[in-house]
């Protein structure tokens, strides 16, 4: 049986023996099945913060049977009564009422007082108690023994509180020891939990296990047991599964501090550790009470809290059908819909309880917890310090590491109805830094064509291909003058042309993913027009990639060869307008059908693609030194650059949280569930060593 002392924001005294038939039934059930009862307890004290005039505390304590998991008893304390408070403010004598105020002491004294009361109530019912289990933060047990010396009851500790205290002490040691990372702390905590589970009721096993758990992680296996120690099973290939790189810890100072914690403090309490209890049922009841009596509401100044806590107790003991039972006992209809609803909720609760006790359920909980922790760690490293005591008085690091670049998702319905607009550029050269000298576009019903006066000379190779030249302030095509526009005007007209489509078009071009997109991006970015341009299109499709997929095995996929092969025609290549017209025919009028529309979902890419490519290249250059020093492979550096990371961001993550910070950043998950850069411990450690050579 379990004595759980819980707290909610409101407080009233309610004796479960007088309150409900349900509680009495549960109490008798435990007595009939146990000659003596083991009890665990837990309590939380709350201050009413919503009303400034109220400064007293309220608390709720409950007792739960360990074998049945039923609430046997609960009691409350309240330092306030609304009727009395109003009368006092008016200087009047309070009217006759059931006063909810039953506590005048401090909040700290509330817990042992309620524990003693509930134990006394059990004693009056002739219920023998063998153990009282709970946290070691109050004097409830000591006071109960002092006031009732004839009790034959032992005090045992709560496993959750013991583990939490150990974890807190390990984290307090972390700044002192570089080797004590979060990974090592988790390994030590896990080993302790396994050791306690394997040695229930075995005091000697606990003592040996505490010594072995420390020696084991430092490569000393004299106290280990072959049933759990992998080193004793295979001394040649054994590696630790939960320590960095699978290697033993080396720091003698760390070992000394761990021995002080585990051997000097825990070994003398090995008897308690061999008989730990769990307070999970208590926490479950706490949550139920919190849903019915929210902490931000002040219910304890009236009888409201007692009804709410009683309903939580009934729900814990009887399930959701308690509502219908209360109705029926009051002479009311239990309610057909209420019965259906309670049956559904009870089944859901039973399924959840059954799954949570299975191995698979526990593994799933640990996996989800690990994912949440990893995600939170990554965000904290990226954001830096955002909340801390007196941080506003300092000058904190405010640089934020970019988050993972999300993959653009397209509306399938929108892209299936979007018009196709084929475009082509002629340029001053073959590099991505060239200027545009002709821009043309062609759709089913409209065309756009303009010559553009460049700011840089046209190369001889480009002139031979395009037949476009510039002489003074004149542009010539095939030695004949043509009308031209300046770049800003030409690009403005092109955006206006795009805006006239009833639906945003998809721009199609041949080899644009490697060339034309980037030329167009550079020109639009120079005049700060790229964002406006993107607002009028859905995305791009490169017909070169589409034809490689649709017509495999060709010797060449140049547009000239495709026209010759698929249309059996020849044409004047490298005139932008002619190129767009022929390409439009290629993608719509060949024997392969509409090759773009049939494959558009597989080959469409974002209008931000050229911008992202430029950014990725800039990011990649920051990793040059790391690549040259073999600290990072080019493939890994490219993956980091594509995830919007620069070398300075990796340095910043180390400044914020050391190796754990770098690991959290590089192994952060994308919205696709993939690792941002890498989760390989060896690669992360190598990069960490490169970025911290002085350490």
Tens of pLDDT along 673-682?
A: 788 899 888 8
Q: Give dist(CA 529, CA 151) in Å, integer.
A: 84
Q: Give dist(CA 12, CA 267) in Å, integer.
A: 41
Q: Give dist(CA 646, CA 615) in Å, integer.
A: 10
Instruction: Indicate the SS3 state at residue 61.
Output: strand
Residue 32 burial (C-beta neighbours within 10 Å; 0-12, 13-18, 19+) = exposed
Q: Is 64's pLDDT higher than 70?
A: yes
Q: Is 243's pLDDT higher than 80?
A: yes
What pLDDT, on the 0 to 100 scale, is given for residue 389?
62
Residue 466 burial (C-beta neighbours within 10 Å; 0-12, 13-18, 19+) = buried
**CB 10 within 8 Å of CB 305:** yes
Confidence of residue 373 (pLDDT cuts 50, 70, 90): confident
Neighbours of 242 (CB within 10 A): 13
The CA-based angle 556-560-566, given to 5 degrees, is 80
Task: Find the mean pLDDT for residues 587-610.
Answer: 80
What pLDDT, on the 0 to 100 scale, is given for residue 393?
54
What is the fold, at CATH topology level, of the domain defined by 412-607? Nucleotidyltransferase; domain 5 (3.30.420)
What pLDDT, on the 0 to 100 scale, is given for residue 34?
35
Task: Find the mean pLDDT for residues 54-83.
Answer: 80
Q: Which CATH architecture has domain 16-157+278-318?
A: 2-Layer Sandwich (3.30)
Nearest to 687 by CA among 645, 177, 673: 645
- Which of 191-201 are b and which e, b meaning 16 or more Cβ less than 10 Å from the residue's Cβ? bbeebbeebee
Tens of pLDDT along 621-656?
A: 999 999 998 889 999 999 999 988 999 999 988 888
Q: Are strands 43-47 and 57-65 parallel, antiparallel or unpaired?
A: antiparallel
What pLDDT, on the 0 to 100 scale, is given for residue 695?
53
Nearest to 425 by CA among 464, 468, 455, 456: 468
Q: Give dist(CA 22, CA 312) in Å, integer.
A: 12
**What is the domain partition of the chain in residue ranges?**
16-157+278-318, 160-273, 412-607
What pLDDT, on the 0 to 100 scale, is given for residue 435?
94
The mean predicted confidence, pLDDT, of the chain is 83
Task: Find the mean pLDDT for residues 191-207.
Answer: 90
**pTM: predicted TM-score of the whole model, two decimal places:** 0.60
What pLDDT, on the 0 to 100 scale, is given for residue 568?
82
Residue showing tokens 């817990």: 111
Which residues on adjacent β-strands are paired with residue 669? 675
Q: Is 296's pLDDT higher than 90?
A: no
Task: Find the mean pLDDT for residues 331-350.
Answer: 92
What pLDDT, on the 0 to 100 scale, is given for residue 123?
86
Tens of pLDDT along 525-581?
A: 999 999 999 999 999 999 999 999 888 888 999 888 888 888 888 776 678 888 899
Question: Comparing 407-416, 611-620, 661-670, which segment has the lowest mean pLDDT?
Answer: 407-416
Q: Read off φ and ψ for residue 374, nearest 5 degrees.
A: -65, -45
What pLDDT, on the 0 to 100 scale, is given for residue 396?
56
Tens of pLDDT along 73-114?
A: 888 888 889 999 999 999 999 999 999 898 888 888 888 888
What pLDDT, on the 0 to 100 scale, is given for residue 277?
83
- Which of 539-552 are b and which e, b meaning 16 or more Cβ less than 10 Å from the residue's Cβ? bbbbbbbbbeebbe
Q: Read off φ and ψ for residue 669, nearest 5 degrees.
A: -90, 145
Which residues on adjacent β-strands are paired with residue 71? 64
Task: Please write down the HEC assignment for all residues of 574-594.
Answer: CCHHHHHHHHHHHHHCECCEC
Question: Same CATH topology for 16-157+278-318 and 412-607?
Answer: yes
What pLDDT, on the 0 to 100 scale, is given for residue 13?
30
What pLDDT, on the 0 to 100 scale, is given for residue 345?
94
Q: Is 274's pLDDT higher than 50?
A: yes
What pLDDT, on the 0 to 100 scale, is given for residue 312?
92
């Amino acid at each position: 049986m379990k004595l759980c002392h819980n707290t909610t924001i409101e407080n009233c005294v309610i004796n479960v023996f007088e309150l409900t038939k349900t509680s009495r039934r549960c109490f008798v059930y435990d007595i009939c099945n146990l000659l003596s009862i083991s009890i665990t307890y837990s309590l939380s004290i709350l201050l009413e913060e919503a009303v400034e005039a109220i400064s007293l505390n309220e608390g709720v304590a409950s007792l739960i049977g360990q074998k049945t998991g039923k609430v046997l008893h609960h009691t409350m304390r309240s330092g306030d009564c609304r009727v009395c408070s109003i009368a006092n403010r008016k200087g009047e004598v309070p009217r006759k009422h059931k006063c909810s105020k039953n506590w005048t002491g401090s909040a700290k004294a509330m817990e042992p007082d309620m524990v003693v009361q509930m134990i006394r109530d059990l004693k009056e019912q002739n219920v023998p108690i063998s153990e009282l289990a709970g946290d070691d933060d109050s004097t409830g047990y000591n006071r109960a023994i002092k006031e009732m010396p004839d009790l034959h009851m032992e005090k045992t500790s709560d496993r959750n509180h013991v583990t939490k205290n150990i974890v807190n002490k390990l984290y307090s040691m972390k700044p002192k020891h570089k080797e004590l990372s979060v990974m090592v702390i988790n390994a030590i905590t896990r080993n302790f939990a396994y050791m306690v589970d394997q040695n229930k009721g075995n005091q000697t096993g606990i003592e040996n296990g505490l010594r072995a758990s420390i020696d084991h992680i430092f490569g000393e296996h004299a106290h280990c047991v072959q049933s759990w120690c992998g080193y004793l099973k295979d001394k040649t290939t054994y590696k630790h599964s939960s320590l960095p790189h699978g290697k033993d810890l080396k720091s003698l100072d760390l070992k000394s501090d761990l021995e002080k914690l585990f051997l000097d403090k825990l070994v003398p309490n090995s008897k308690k550790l061999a008989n730990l209890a769990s307070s999970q049922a208590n926490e479950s009841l706490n949550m139920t009470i919190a849903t019915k009596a929210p902490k931000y509401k002040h219910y304890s100044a009236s009888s409201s809290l007692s009804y709410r806590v009683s309903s939580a107790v009934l729900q814990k003991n009887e399930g959701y059908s308690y509502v219908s039972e209360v109705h029926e006992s009051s002479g009311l209809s239990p309610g057909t819909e209420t019965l259906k609803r309670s049956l559904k909720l009870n089944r859901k609760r039973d399924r959840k309880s059954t799954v949570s006790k299975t191995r698979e359920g526990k593994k799933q909980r640990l996996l989800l917890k690990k994912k949440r922790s990893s995600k939170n760690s990554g965000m904290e490293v990226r954001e830096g310090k955002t909340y801390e005591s007196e941080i506003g008085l300092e000058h904190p690091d405010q640089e934020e590491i970019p988050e993972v670049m999300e993959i653009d998702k397209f509306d399938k319905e929108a892209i299936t109805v979007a018009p196709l607009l084929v475009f082509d550029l002629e340029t001053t050269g073959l590099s991505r830094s060239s200027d545009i000298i002709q821009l043309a576009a062609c759709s089913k019903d409209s065309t756009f064509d303009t010559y553009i006066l460049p700011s840089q000379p046209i190369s001889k190779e480009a002139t031979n291909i395009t037949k476009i030249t510039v002489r003074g302030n004149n542009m010539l095509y095939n030695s004949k003058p043509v009308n031209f526009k300046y770049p800003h005007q030409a690009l403005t007209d092109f955006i206006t042309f795009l805006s006239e489509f009833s639906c945003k078009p998809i721009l199609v071009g041949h080899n644009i993913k490697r060339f034309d997109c980037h030329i167009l991006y550079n020109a639009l970015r120079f005049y700060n027009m790229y964002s406006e341009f993107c607002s009028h299109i859905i995305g791009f499709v490169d017909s070169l990639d589409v034809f490689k997929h649709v017509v495999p095995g060709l010797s060449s996929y140049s547009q000239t060869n495709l026209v010759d092969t698929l249309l059996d025609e020849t044409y004047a290549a490298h005139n932008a307008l002619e190129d767009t017209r022929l390409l439009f025919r290629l993608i719509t009028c060949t024997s392969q059908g509409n090759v773009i529309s049939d494959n558009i979902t597989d080959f469409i890419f974002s209008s931000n693609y050229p911008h992202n490519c430029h950014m990725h290249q800039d990011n990649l250059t920051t990793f040059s030194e790391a690549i040259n020093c073999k600290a990072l492979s080019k493939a890994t550096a490219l993956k980091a650059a594509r995830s919007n990371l620069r070398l300075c961001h990796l340095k910043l993550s180390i400044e914020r949280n050391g190796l754990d910070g770098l690991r959290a950043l590089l192994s952060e998950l994308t919205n696709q569930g993939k690792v941002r850069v890498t989760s390989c411990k060896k690669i992360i450690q190598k990069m960490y060593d490169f970025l911290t050579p002085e350490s």
